[in-house]
Structure 1
């Protein structure tokens, strides 16, 4: 353990991106980076949020079916990434907003829609109806009522950018916690081998209660799960993770999948890929940037894949 560095631990808490942000940095000379990092988070939220009337993403949504909208380089690149993986049709879909708003699971007015309503909304979540013009840096949603929502990958992207800032400034160790989306930077001062001890949430218990722990060098840890938001109607339990291929909550015996990756934005995507697949994918752990994954089933049994370090 690096006791000197442990004694120079600084934490800053903030509310942004619809969640509680906790940044932990080690080293007295890097304390000012906490405020700079929070400002960076706010900057990205101003660009990417769909929870306000005005943002770059909302300008695209307001122009749906009417006109292309120019956005910043950062926003364009993130939209491009989101559309790319949405078109792979494995469950992740950055256009799913109209369907989410129909069900409203986890929010006031949640209900089980009629099938005819679901089929109508499915017409508005087609990622091939997003036109991207690289030269003009414009985004156009072809149908009125379509909506982009980057909430599924924005936290991962922002965490990666904070990590880049910290590494550029020479930060020896730190933890970026964007509402449970975790990114570990540098070598842990708690252990001589520099590895981090990372807890995997028990889906049956309160946040912070772990079912397992993983020991890894600096990495990202992202979880997709169905245990926090759900609707019970006529004895049936409907969770919030909607399948864009059917319009209904995904049928699964999984409670959660936690993935460990080099890049947090890819952790967001890969967590959904594995969750929607329902089981490990052959060779997934050997693909560049993937460290490992833990699947937790509804009966609390676990399956793990990877972790070769």
Structure 2
């Protein structure tokens, strides 16, 4: 399981007690590569069962998290299926010396192979997110700043051919920045839940911030719109973009930038997976494969 900080049931119960909950069972969650996550089954004082997710933050500080708490509550108020932390203003807790949050577990399941209808629904949800206003006050470094940090730290370690491709693409990307919108920054399949055709959950907003809409779209497309051999699938991409543009049409400049955004997004996750692989070993099988995005970057760079 991908867990950095191992917790006992006694430790978890100490957190649940603050919400007048009793732990029934807990298990580590294998998805995710940045935080420690546990699936919890608990009971309220009246005996009603409740399913929760406990997250311990391995990178974000306690000072950075209030912005994310406000974000999830604001998006929930806009009708998006976003789990907001329990506890209101007292949501932020500490366990094993690290900040922690408890959020409700939403219904639904992760989708391995999305249908065109599901992709159109996801596109509409992403458009709603991009249309959502939120103050930048207190916001931690967003997707563009994360990209810059990864490039500065890890680009020199790439093979020479990849560096030669990446350099000019990054210069083009940074030479013409687009108007930023509120972005998820990590809308992979393991951060979305569906129940049949119905979108039931948008999860893990801890890479959210302000960046161009096409960059956030590219991150999403690079995970959801690939064929069995991780080759780009034009029909799936068209379904997602059609759904998106029902609510937020892309202008001609954004459409022109999208192929470049797809290459930059592939590079970003190649670098972040290399960073994750180099960090402290985890309990269990380990990390996601950087080679997946190395291969995708080569494809996207050739088309950019």
- TM-score w.r.t. the length of structure 2 is 0.28
- TM-score w.r.t. the length of structure 1 is 0.27
Larger helix percent:
2
The one of the two structures with greater contact order (alpha-carbon pairs below 8 A, sep at least 6) is: 2
